[in-house]
Amino acid sequence: MKIGQKPYLIFLVVAAFFLQSCSDGPAVPNTRGVYMLLDTSGTYTKELKQAQRVINYVLSQLDSGDSFAVARVDTGSFSEKDIVAKVSFKDQPSKANAQKRVFRDKIDKFVKTVKGSAYTDITGGILQGIEFLNEAGTGHNTILIFSDLKEELRKGYKRDIPLTVTDYSVVALNVTKLRSDNIDPREYLDRLEKWRLKVESGGGEWRVINDMARLEKILVRK
């Protein structure tokens, strides 16, 4: 049999390939978006060195087309002003590498000059993160919260807003125990449970990673 005598074979192969490509339903972008909140309240600023490690790890894992932003959590975090550094990596990997180096330098500078804030508006930060990631249009979104999860709002701030985090992964990192948690551990557990319910009721996936030696689990989805 000569190949040239069977042109319909080529047609069948192409048709099969086309059908296979059409069968996956609506296309979800294969890009990743990560928004990381850094708690800068009180004594938690001491933990920022750890946060720097996490940021560098996330940078090493992201590729061209992905988006990453790091924002501080302070008195009112629902604001672009609290975004310390943000980047959408360019298509060319070499340019993406250059962007990573610039990003790292910005974070280094921030960690050196950061000052503690009086209040902790985590919900506002998450809302800002959702806004950022929606605008970035990335396919798989993750919000990292580097905090003890103790929210302290200034008088007059309304944050009893349901979160819309459908298909988002919300990962709490390095959730340190407060002195009061040691007296009554239920406070710590209740705090975690409250955030879990808040995220899961918004359609998101909730995870807690306290072991900073296992950073590879941060961007892995269940």
Q: Which chain residues interact with another protein by CB under 8 A?
A: 1-5, 17, 20-21, 24, 27, 29-31, 56-57, 59-60, 63-66, 89, 91-94, 96-97, 100-101, 104
Q: Give the burial string for 33-45 (b: 16+ CB within 10 Å, else e).
A: bbbbbbbbbbebb
Give 22 or 183: the residue with its C-beta nearer to another protein: 22
Closest approach of another protein to the CB of residue 101, in Å: 6
Strand ranges, E, within the chain: 32-39, 67-73, 83-88, 140-146, 168-173, 205-209
Task: Give yes or no for a contact between 219 and 61, defined as CB atoms under 8 angstroms apart.
Answer: yes
Distance of CA 11 to the CA centre of its chain: 45
What the block records as the tokens of 3 is 């190949």
Give 54 or 122: the residue with its C-beta nearer to another protein: 54
Rounded to whole angstroms, the Cα distance separating 202 from 121 reads 18
Give 107 or 122: the residue with its C-beta nearer to another protein: 107
Give 97 or 182: the residue with its C-beta nearer to another protein: 97
Closest approach of another protein to the CB of residue 109, in Å: 14
Give 92 or 134: the residue with its C-beta nearer to another protein: 92
Closest approach of another protein to the CB of residue 32, in Å: 10
Alpha helices in 62-156 (DSSP H): 93-113, 122-136
Closest approach of another protein to the CB of residue 52, in Å: 9
Q: Which of 189, 192, 153 is nearest to 171 (CA)?
A: 192
Closest approach of another protein to the CB of residue 8, in Å: 16
Give 53 or 186: the residue with its C-beta nearer to another protein: 53
Closest approach of another protein to the CB of residue 28, in Å: 10
Rounded to whole angstroms, the Cα distance separating 81 from 102 reads 19
